[in-house]
Structure 1
Amino acid sequence: MIMAKNNNSLITILITLFFLLVTIDTPNAASLNSKQNEFPGLYTLDDNIELLTNDNFDKKLYGKKYSWLIEFYSSWCGHCQKFAPFWKSFALDVLDWTNFIKIGAIDCAQEDNTPVCRQFEIMGYPTVLYFHENYEAGPKNFGSPMKSFGGVDYLRAHLIEMLKNEQSKGSAKHIPSLLPYIDENVNGLWDLVENKPFVFVIVENTNSTLCAEIILDYAHVNDIVNIKCVKTNSSSILNKLSIVQIPSSPILLVVFKDLSVIPITPRNKSRTTFKNAIKVFLGSKDIDIPKQSLYEFNKDLRDSVPNFQNNIKESLNQMGDVVFQVDLENTIHYSLKHEISAMKIIDGVRYEALIDFFRVLIKYFPFGKNGIDFLTELKYRVEQSADNTITGEAISSHIHDLEQQYDPVYSLPLQWLGCRGSTPSKRGYPCGLWKLFHVLTVQSSELNPPGVDNNEVLTAMHGYIKNFFGCTHCSQHFQKMATDRKIFDVVTPDDSIIWLWESHNIVNKRLAGDETEDPSFPKVEFPTNENCQECRDSNGRWNRGEVLKYLKQVYSAQNIQKQMPDVSNKSVTSASRASRINSFDVRSIWIKYGWMLLILL
């Protein structure tokens, strides 16, 4: 009885241990990859900008009684980083309009957001799209593009022109009319406001947006403040308002129903002073303007989204010109998941560029067997698509299936190591892409016979950056440089190594001191004297023969660092990765064989 009781206790303990081990949340490669690649984005919960994600995008956009202006960006993109302060300032500038026009942003660098960015055919970053009220999903409904350059004044003026265009087509009815009053019958000024004794009229030139701005500023109290815009080219209306001389700058009038006019134009003719003049006049009539209740930004995210802060407290020290395998693999992972898969349709020249990219990766990238098999099968599936056309969604599905089939594709948990910046929006993917193509050019030289004519790596690089690289501004710069430096005239693999090195230094020189530069990793010409004293002569001029030898050493597959040093509290060593790969951990043993022990007991 005692033995039976002990056996029962042992069985109970073993069963409990078995289920604990089965259900314990052991980090797998996918979950680690997700956390390691988690970007904080360029905006926070307190930037007066709606933070959109794949989870909330449809719910927030479609069928609403307000308009949207949404920036699609990538947090690693230098041009996006430059644009972000303008977008924040713009959102603050139009804060009073927020109950009628939402300002949002979605980070396409987040893998979970790829379906949204692909759906709207985002080809470059940043892309700003306008969506009118009551917007509906549809295969052709991609919003209206707005150029993402210029300061706050430009963005505000462009938005107003978009709203006017919508109103001229019968849309944007959720806000008062921004269109200029053109009816010679000035009694029409009181349409929809017949019970009001007066209206405010702003007379301005045809290019001014001041009147529309103030209308939007007071749109929340349109039942109290009624404003009409009259352009200076409407001479007959001006005559009826007793304006004999056409004003050279905006003027503000109070017009009563008997057409008597009181000018209240402030001396300093700005948006703020015009608004104050209206407020003071209303105060003289004992009319108060209630404060509006502003929209509570990101209410649904504040309790559910992780704090957008960098968990890495210390940046990596400058590590010289060392190359880490994990940076290269993370670059390929990002390229496949965030750029190639984000395309709506891949056909024509873009399809050819994709095949070229796969081809050089398969030939020259120092992947393990699973990685090469994964890329080979992926290329095969793409080539089986009808009419040399494939969707990004189909590629995303292939990638998902093949990652399961060839698991583990990547040798280490994916994160930036040598390419890690002082903040998560610095360096990262652009750094990894440079390193990737440096490695490919060196591998091409090492694996092809001496003197062979082969420019396939630079050709693939040009095709990729032109057709897939998300930073539009960067891509355009590279394409111009490639044309100026005659990339397609490069002949041998060794020449390709030198061409890419020279081009990289040209870019570094251009970006040195730029606001997108990581202060912990300044842009300098490489290799530095510290890393290669033989690479320059006594006059400081490059010794290209020595540079070529140095580049072949640094970017050779034999010298790529395969180990994962413990650089932060988020690092996972290669030993622990190998443990998971080979499934020689306690949890795996119990899952596979524990049930046999239970049966025997």
Structure 2
Amino acid sequence: MPRTLLLSAAAALLGSGWLPATSAFGPMRRDRGPLFTTSTVVRTLNSSNFDSMLDDTQTVWLVDFYSPWCPHCRQFGPQWEEVANVYGSVDSIQFGAVDCTRQNEICDREDVHAYPGVKLYHVSEEAITMPHVGNVYARHVAKWLEETLKEHGMGPLIDVDKVYPKNPLRDDLKKKEHTFGDPVEPLYDDRSEDMQLKRLKDAGTTALFILEDGFFMSTTILAGERYEAAVTWVKTLAGAFPMKENRAAFAVLVDMMKVKEQWKQNEWMDMLENWKSSVNEKSFPVNLFASKDDLALCTTYTCGLWTVFHSLTVTGVGQLKPSEIMSAIRLVVKHFFGCEECKRHFLKANPESVITKLALRDEDGPQAVALWIWTMHNTVNKVQGKPRWPTNLSCPNCYTNTDEPQSLNPNQLNDEDIVAYVRRVYKIESNVNVSFQTVGTSSWFSMGALAVVGLLFVIYRTLFQQHKHRLIGVKSLKTRDHIA
């Protein structure tokens, strides 16, 4: 596949989103709790008060529909709070927010299936949706609100230019070119067995999150095109997920979900619990699909998604063609990933024509698709100002012209070495130690282990007190575990 195809599509990921420093799969912390819980200006709307808001036709309501795991939603939250404060003294307008992970029925009824979604109520007969265009700050929300009110013979409520005077520095920052961050020496070997097992754990956790939450994003019914996409995705997991035990588990799920052509959410969750009970003892490692919140290495759901994507593209087993795996990845982002800008960027970089071109390389094996995912992932690293992965220190043979500024220029890349490195990191079929799967049963051994841990803790505490001035902060260490 021509390198120009890779780079031109990857460039689509550099397009501006709702917030400039957020990638197509931007950062999202483990905190998945609801937003605005302590806000005095943004009212949380739910099944008990949403209809009252709809009936309050004498008041204009601006409502943010969000998901706590959506990176753009979490970064947009402070902007929403700010604009709500700006209008805090205006009695004729109120600001609300709906957590779509907890209020599926509301979001389904309001036809909100991507986040963040902003709707304006009681200005016209139907609610007006704020378009997803450009970088959205509090100023942009206020400007759109005032323009929309003016179109309907209402307002102005505030003078946006006085509240938010133009800032040349902000305009200059928008034009800033994205660059990779400074490379750092890796703390751990990406290819170590411990790291591979942690990534396997994260892949299983993320796969379960998609099954439990993604399939029913802002809806209570899995049917039609979404159902077909769900079946395709689980079939792909059954054909390409790491370890034969786990592929067998997903094969069981395919049979269970095909019993019906549509699923209500409560029925699906009951079925999924039965599936988990039947396969977790046989998974590798045991209980791989026990919890959707148990990340081992990643600190974000989007990191977990990249882990799944990489793992699928390098497994290279079964009857699936590499382009079919890429097509399934595209489907899961299209239908089951709610971040609007993330989805838009990803689909722009992966139109159907790209899948068609990748299919021409199927006979060559998974290399083209593995390199494709690597290119997009490092494009995201560049947007976020992270180092290119792997670094020159981790894989000296992956790059040439290392004295030049880091880039994705084909003149700097050794494709074969990059793919070989990625495969060594994510392909774990024959690399794991079976002993990881076993658990000691001797109570004497357990007591001995606790004693050793206690002794090591005392030694560590003593050393820490003596040498703590030499230690790097925990936050710094975590960010260096795995760049990509």
Q: Distance in 1 between matches of 2:147 and 2:423?
A: 55
Q: Distance in 1 between matches of 2:267 and 2:442?
A: 31
Cα deviation digits, residues 315-361 of structure 1 (max 9, x gap):
xx965643423311221122122221125355554443222211111
User: Offset of 1:463 from its aligned partner?
Assistant: 1.5
Cα deviation digits, residues 558-585 of structure 1 (max 9, x gap):
4579999xxxxxxxx9969999xxxxxx
Q: Quote the residue 2:3 is aligned against.
A: none
Which aligned pairs between 1:74-113 and structure 2 lie closer than 5 A?
A: 74-97=67-90, 100-108=92-100, 110=101, 112-113=102-103
Is there any run of 5+ residues in structure 1 with no aligned partner, and where?
A: 1-35, 134-140, 169-177, 180-208, 215-249, 251-268, 273-316, 421-427, 514-522, 565-572, 580-601
Which aligned pairs between 1:423-462 and structure 2 lie closer than 5 A?
A: 428-443=300-315, 445=316, 447-448=317-318, 454-462=322-330
Instruction: Give the greater-gyration-radius structure (CA).
Output: 1
2:392 to 526, 529, 539: 529
Preserved CA contact (<8 Å) 1:115 1:342: no
Preserved CA contact (<8 Å) 2:276 2:290: no
1:489 to 336, 357, 360: 357
User: Offset of 1:117 from its aligned partner?
Assistant: 3.8
User: Offset of 1:505 from its aligned partner?
Assistant: 1.6
User: Offset of 1:270 from its aligned partner?
Assistant: 5.6
TM-aligned CA distance change 1:148 to 1:496, over 3 Å: closer
Between the aligned residues of both structures, percent identity stands at 25
Q: Quote the residue 2:32 is aligned against.
A: 39
Q: How many residues end up aligned between the 2 structures?
A: 363
Q: Quote the residue 2:297 is aligned against.
A: 418
Q: Which has the higher contact order (CA 8 A, sep 6+)?
A: 2
TM-aligned CA distance change 1:37 to 1:503, over 3 Å: closer
TM-aligned CA distance change 1:148 to 1:89, over 3 Å: farther
Q: Quote the residue 2:240 is aligned against.
A: 364
Q: Quote the residue 2:422 is aligned against.
A: 551
Preserved CA contact (<8 Å) 2:205 2:289: no
User: Offset of 1:544 from its aligned partner?
Assistant: 2.0
Preserved CA contact (<8 Å) 1:466 1:475: yes
TM-aligned CA distance change 1:545 to 1:401, over 3 Å: same
Preserved CA contact (<8 Å) 1:469 1:475: yes
User: Offset of 1:101 from its aligned partner?
Assistant: 3.5
Q: Distance in 1 between matches of 2:216 and 2:442?
A: 29
Q: Quote the residue 2:453 is aligned against.
A: none
Q: Quote the residue 1:507 is aligned against.
A: 380
User: Offset of 1:128 from its aligned partner?
Assistant: 1.3
TM-aligned CA distance change 1:489 to 1:37, over 3 Å: same
Please state whether the residue corresponding to 1:455 is helix, strand or coil: helix
1:155 to 127, 141, 147: 141
Please state whether the residue corresponding to 1:68 is helix, strand or coil: strand
Which aligned pairs between 1:52-91 and structure 2 lie closer than 5 A?
A: 52=45, 58=50, 61=53, 63-64=55-56, 66-91=59-84
Please state whether the residue corresponding to 1:97 is helix, strand or coil: coil
User: Offset of 1:74 from its aligned partner?
Assistant: 2.7
Which aligned pairs between 1:456-471 and structure 2 lie closer than 5 A?
A: 456-471=324-339
1:123 to 93, 113, 118: 113
Q: Distance in 1 between matches of 2:328 and 2:370?
A: 14
TM-aligned CA distance change 1:527 to 1:151, over 3 Å: closer
TM-aligned CA distance change 1:554 to 1:563, over 3 Å: farther
Q: Quote the residue 1:352 is aligned against.
A: 228
Preserved CA contact (<8 Å) 2:217 2:338: no
User: Offset of 1:396 from its aligned partner?
Assistant: 4.2
Is there any run of 5+ residues in structure 2 with no aligned partner, and where?
A: 1-28, 165-185, 282-286, 404-411, 444-484
User: Offset of 1:399 from its aligned partner?
Assistant: 2.8
Cα deviation digits, residues 475-499 of structure 1 (max 9, x gap):
2211222249823322232222122
1:498 to 371, 375, 399: 371
Q: Quote the residue 1:475 is aligned against.
A: 343
Preserved CA contact (<8 Å) 1:536 1:542: yes
Pairing 1:327–2:211 present: no
Q: Distance in 1 between matches of 2:35 and 2:188?
A: 26
Which aligned pairs between 1:220-231 and structure 2 lie closer than 5 A?
A: none
Q: Distance in 1 between matches of 2:278 and 2:111?
A: 29
TM-score of the two chains, using structure 2 as the length reference: 0.62
Q: Distance in 2 between matches of 1:116 and 1:561?
A: 48
**Greater helix fraction, Structure 1 or Structure 2:** 2
TM-aligned CA distance change 1:533 to 1:161, over 3 Å: closer
Which aligned pairs between 1:167-178 and structure 2 lie closer than 5 A?
A: none
The RMSD of aligned alpha carbons is 4.3
Which aligned pairs between 1:561-600 and structure 2 lie closer than 5 A?
A: none
Q: Distance in 2 between matches of 1:130 and 1:398?
A: 38
Please state whether the residue corresponding to 2:213 is helix, strand or coil: helix
Q: Quote the residue 2:17 is aligned against.
A: none
